[in-house]
Amino acid sequence: MGAEVSAVPNEEEALFGAVDALLEQVAQDPLPPPAERKRLREAAGLSQGQIAKALDARRESVGNWETGRSEPRPPKRAAYARLLDGLAARFPTVPDAAVPVRDTAVRETSTGVPAPAEARAVSTHPAPEAAALPAEENTRPRPAKTAAPAAASPPVRAVRPSATSRRPGVKKAAPANTPAGVDPRFENGPLAVVDVEDGQVLAYCVGGLVLDVPAKSIPALVDWTLKEARLGQPKLSGPGKDADPLLVLTEAALERYGLPVALTEEERLAGRIPEGHKVIKQLVRADWKLTKRGFGPWARIYRPAQGSERACVQLCIPSWNALDTRHWGEAGQLPPAELARLLGVYASRVMTPRGSTAVTGLELMTALHPPTHAVRDEATGAFRKADVKTPGSLGEHPVDCAPCEAPDGHPVLKDLPRFHVRGPGEKLFEEAYDWARPLTDAECTKRHLVGIDVNMAFAAGANGLTVGLGEPTQVKNPVFDPKLPGSWLVDLSHVDLSRVKVGKEWVELDGSLLPSPFTPKGERPTGPAWYATPTVAYALELGYDVAPVEAWVRYDNGRYLDAWYNRLRDAYLATMADLGVDADLSPAEFLVAMDGYRNRDPELAIVVSAVKATVKGGLGKLRERPRGEGWKPGEPWRALSRPTWRPDIRAAVISRTRINLHRKLLKHAAFTGQYPVAILSDCVVYAADGESPLDFLPYRDGKPLPGGFKLGVNPGLVKWEGTQSVLWGEGVREQFDAPELNLARYIKDGTVTNADSGE
């Protein structure tokens, strides 16, 4: 009898256990809002790692649960809910206290029906430019201007609920409702990072949105992206084209879709996987095509356009070195949500990446000035492509450069003798400064060498610059016109920097302590040489006459780079402001704000680096050289087929950038008697008694010298680059037996490597 009585509780306990297990599998009670989950954890003093260990989950997953990027799935969901209930009992919300509520999700029940209204988050509809930044950043306070500012990021855009999501917190593509002001075709943002979590393929979009991806293969993934994902970006200019959606594939996604996690050495050198790879065969069977560069780190998969309808998806594969660490830092190692945020900020402020930062910089020029436009056919009433190029653009077809503008090996030079070395009278050589000189006795008595660096120098050089849009015209014995872009053969050796015009007044200077504005090495010209228009115009500005003997000028011209500069400037300033460096800071406040700004939000700091690389890389692409491909001197290479292969535009920008810097050097020398000791591109080093730029820059009542160096974040203004001692500089030069070693190269941290080779 006793045995029968004791068996009842055991049987009952087993039934209860089975019911509990069943409830655990189906438990889908609404969880607290993401911000409340984070509050409870922090109130208990627990780390994300501790919770992840207890729930047998990844730390990144816990972080995603706390930001609303994703929701836990059974059986972890029930355990997580139990934990939160326990923490809520111990750490209740303070009455009447506002609990931050993320505006990017509406919780759903296990059936996929949105939770009751009282459980829904409130959408605040932030500004469009803030769309790519996470909501938790909103709580970061902006510091006083006298302290080192902390990063402040705008809120994310709202995400609507989906009644068909198979997973709580993860919404399917193509929802029914679209908020006002958002293009319904691209309501989920410009890009997505595709990852695999708990066996499910997810697409992490900007603003914390996570899409459920049903595709089982790369062709199916492309189809899903174009038909359901609603990814892409509206065109940047009226007659332009919308940006194609970008998918970033993580290592887990590569494995899921049958692609290698890393390229072999042979594949890396080729820049692509073999044509016979099974994924490429799948694409061919599905009638998808690849561009000539094949399936590489930045693969483009497309079908020929049908009228105005494009069918194209771009892939970015970080583990194949798509995100070069020189420009993107450790972006490729970030968790999917963080990577989507970083690339989303770049896409919203610059454009959706089209390849490397250099490629994107060049594509941005074309996107802002499309080469063609549509016109109505008077006979049929239908629209067709215009017969002429779009005004202000470079057109659809490349133009030949002038012989003096051509780099060595160009087809226009194929008749030159073999091994012929062109001198200044045959070749346009506009490059950035690489100049240094020995210290004077007076400078050796100073204690420090202080480096200042021009912000976005080449972007500032492009601002307002008139460049050629069409082909060059040769002119003999021309009258120089400073408003006419071109290349001029002229002798500037008579310009004496010891007596020049600064503004409207002639001033006496020590010309031996200044670099020549006409050569990258700062050497005075010895005879006729080819120069871009800004260089020759500067000789006139200094008070000297010029008499060109020949020129290649472009009568079709315009300010082609203005829109390009404006967009990159705005992207740079907006991101720096998010990092706490505003344009209206005083000089002292600016120096404080710049101290450690990268540590306030490392992801946004990567965006700053990428924007800078977009400027330099885009300008460099204007004169792209052969990249292997079996090229031989005298033969054309692939880049020559682009309308944007324009070495004359690159030369004009570099010329103007160098002249802008030299103008500031003269102003500074004339006013203070101080001369630079080294210049490398946009970095200038001065000898000073103090360690700060404020110890030698001439500020009066907080106002800088007009036309001189000014501290600030805007392009063309300067920041502090680094300070070393004069003893360090002299020691390095003595160590390498190089009295004119360019100290600007090493001023940032004092580390000197390969000094002899200048690397």
Q: Tell me the pLDDT tens digit for each residue of 403-443.
A: 999 999 999 999 999 889 999 999 999 999 999 999 999 99
Q: Let me know: does 68 contact 102? Beta carbons within 8 Å.
A: yes
pLDDT level of residue 238 (50, 70, 90 thresholds): confident
In a domain, 72, yes or no: yes
Mean pLDDT of all residues in 355-371: 96
pLDDT of 218 above 60: yes
Q: How large a percentage of the chain has pLDDT more than 90?
A: 67
pLDDT of 213 above 60: yes
Identify the domain containing residue 35 by its residue range: 21-109
For residue 529, give the H/E element and its range.
Answer: strand 528-532
Residue recorded with tokens 């994703």: 70
Residue recorded with tokens 């215009």: 386
- The closest alpha carbon to 75, from 36, 37, 24, 120, belongs to 24
Q: How many CA atoms lie within 13 A of 337 on its CB side?
A: 23
pLDDT level of residue 382 (50, 70, 90 thresholds): low
In sequence order, the 6+-apart residues with CB closer than 8 A to the CB of 378 are none
In a domain, 140, yes or no: no
In a domain, 563, yes or no: no
**Residue 593, SS3?**
helix
Q: What letter represents residue 685's amino acid? A: V
In a domain, 336, yes or no: no
Pairing type for strands 246-249 and 289-290 reads unpaired
Q: Let me know: does 89 contact 41? Beta carbons within 8 Å.
A: no
pLDDT at 64 (0 to 100) = 79
Mean pLDDT of all residues in 496-521: 96
pLDDT of 113 above 70: no
Burial class for 470, CB neighbours closer than 10 Å (0-12, 13-18, 19+): middle
Burial class for 271, CB neighbours closer than 10 Å (0-12, 13-18, 19+): middle
Q: Tell me the pLDDT tens digit for each residue of 251-285.
A: 999 999 999 999 999 999 999 999 999 999 999 99
Tell me how many degrees the CA angle 650-655-657 measures, rounded to the nearest 5: 95
In a domain, 440, yes or no: no
In a domain, 437, yes or no: no
The sheet that has 289-290: what strands, in order across it? 210-212, 200-205, 191-197, 246-249, 309-316, 298-306, 289-290
pLDDT of 7 above 80: no
pLDDT of 158 above 80: no
pLDDT at 14 (0 to 100) = 64
pLDDT at 750 (0 to 100) = 92
Q: Tell me the pLDDT tens digit for each residue of 286-320.
A: 999 999 889 999 999 999 877 667 799 999 999 99
B/e letters for 685-703, b = 16+ CB within 10 Å, e = fewer, are bbbbeebbbbebbebeeee
Specify which residues 476 forms β-bridges with.
550
In a domain, 445, yes or no: no
Q: How many CA atoms lie within 13 A of 371 on its CB side?
A: 12
pLDDT level of residue 183 (50, 70, 90 thresholds): confident
Q: Let me know: does 688 contact 448? Beta carbons within 8 Å.
A: yes
Give, as one character, the DSSP assignment of residue 471: -
pLDDT of 180 above 80: no
**Helical H runs in 68-109?**
76-90
pLDDT at 146 (0 to 100) = 37
Tokens representing 546 are 């010029």
Q: Tell me the pLDDT tens digit for each residue of 329-348.
A: 999 999 999 999 999 999 99
Dist. CA 175–CA 74, nearest whole Å? 25
pLDDT at 288 (0 to 100) = 96
Q: In this structure, what CATH number is given to the domain that contains residue 71?
A: 1.10.260
Query: How many other CB atoms are found less than 10 A from the CB of residue 756?
Result: 9
Of 4-8, 183-187, 557-561, 640-644, which gets the smallest average pLDDT? 4-8
Question: What total number of domains does the chain contain?
Answer: 1
pLDDT of 127 above 90: no
Tokens representing 140 are 């970061």
pLDDT at 383 (0 to 100) = 64
In a domain, 26, yes or no: yes
Of 76-85, 135-144, 480-489, 590-599, which gets the smallest average pLDDT? 135-144
Q: Tell me the pLDDT tens digit for each residue of 694-737.
A: 999 998 888 899 999 999 999 999 999 999 999 999 999 998 88
Q: What letter represents residue 448's amino acid? A: H
Residue recorded with tokens 């500012």: 149
Task: Report the range out of 156-165, 583-592, 620-629 with the highest average pLDDT.
Answer: 583-592
Pairing type for strands 683-688 and 191-197 reads unpaired
pLDDT level of residue 65 (50, 70, 90 thresholds): confident
Dist. CA 505–CA 698, nearest whole Å? 20
Specify which residues 488 forms β-bridges with.
531, 551
CA 559 to chain CA mean position, Å: 23
Of 76-85, 93-102, 317-326, 486-495, which gets the smallest average pLDDT? 93-102
Mean pLDDT of all residues in 360-389: 81
In sequence order, the 6+-apart residues with CB closer than 8 A to the CB of 498 are 508, 509, 510, 511
pLDDT level of residue 168 (50, 70, 90 thresholds): very low
Average pLDDT, the chain: 85
pLDDT of 126 above 60: no
**Residue 427, SS3?**
coil
pLDDT level of residue 50 (50, 70, 90 thresholds): confident
Dist. CA 733–CA 10, nearest whole Å? 87
pLDDT level of residue 23 (50, 70, 90 thresholds): low
Q: How many CA atoms lie within 13 A of 18 on its CB side?
A: 5
Q: Tell me the pLDDT tens digit for each residue of 536-555.
A: 999 999 999 999 999 999 99
Q: Let me know: does 702 contact 587? Beta carbons within 8 Å.
A: yes
**Helical H runs in 182-256?**
218-224, 251-256
Given its phi and psi angles, is residue 722 left (phi above 0), alpha (psi -120 to 50 degrees) or beta?
A: left
Mean pLDDT of all residues in 61-72: 80
